Homo-oligomer: A and B are copies of this chain.
């Protein structure tokens, strides 16, 4: 069976470092085209794809003229889907065009710049996909790293969840390559990097807490600690789940502190997940036994892109890639930012039922 023809839309850092290698590593996919705003960027990205007699990659861009536009890719019958990795505010228009053309979409997180936009996009998607059968998957690679899956399973074994603390601290320096993307330096969406990176952390937390402990409401305070990271770079939030559990979510991308830790307390022990290391303590008090499990470092993107390819083959969307799931991740970040904007006024959540 011939691999599924796809196009990659975008030629930025993440496309080069993650999406292209991931697409190349899946035997189910063949990259047939790359589009970027500039031909130069598309050419640079295409260099990463080895050319042989059987395959070649066609380049498209906003500055390439007739027959080489994004819309032209969508007309190609040999291309069944697109991987979209564009600036957050640009993505919706590209998603809608692809779906309208009957192309499957794997689009980078967040699902949209805000919940209102995401809800509209999802409503439109449901209408369009009923006609065209095109599917829309959101790429949240944290859902495809084995450490988080393992940690989530460990939590389930330790009884009722009783508390949690998320601490994610790092300094997004001005010299960082991701900082120097223009759409990130002066973001046109609430929260800047806190939204961009934050949906990864809410996705991870939601996975760890599971469907019995979805977040029901929260209070938060936000701050700008490092002046080069407007509008805000720090969230301190207190979350309450529908099961009545209270926990803290603390994320700063502008701090001198350093941490990457999800602590989940359960009645019969605790799980501490750190991305590649998961420390499980089984039992309470003197009887407690601690086990540390280390996982190979992976972004999860290869697993995620391959899972998407499999879903295209089977016709069944991967439950870890639905826009509804990504909406829940986004809502959790957005409500923390909104509570912060309102100096800590309690926010209720409504899109947390998909976990």
Contact = CB atoms under 8 A, between A and B. Distances in A.
Given A171-B285, A343-B346, A246 B256 contact: no
A236 B162 CA distance: 13
Contacts of A252: 163, 265
Interface string A301-333: 000000000000000000000000000000000
A223 B246 CA distance: 7
Contact of A222 (B167, B171, B246, B257): B246
Given A163-B255, A256-B265, A343-B346, A236 B225 contact: no
A222 B246 CA distance: 7
A171 B223 CA distance: 32
A245 interface: yes
A344 B343 contact: no
Contacts of A220: 238
A44 to B, nearest CB: 28
Contacts of A247: 236
A256 B284 contact: yes
Contacts of A234: 163, 246
Q: How many copies of this chain are found per oligomer?
A: 2
A110 B113 CA distance: 48
B173 A285 contact: yes
A15 interface: no
A268 B270 CA distance: 34
Contact of A225 (B163, B221, B259): B163
A214 interface: no
A263 B270 CA distance: 21
8 contacts: A163-B225, A163-B234, A163-B252, A165-B257, A219-B344, A220-B238, A236-B247, A248-B250
Given A162-B256, A173-B285, A257-B263, 18 more contacts: A163-B223, A163-B234, A165-B167, A165-B250, A165-B257, A219-B219, A219-B238, A220-B238, A221-B238, A221-B246, A222-B246, A236-B247, A236-B248, A248-B248, A256-B268, A256-B281, A258-B270, A259-B263
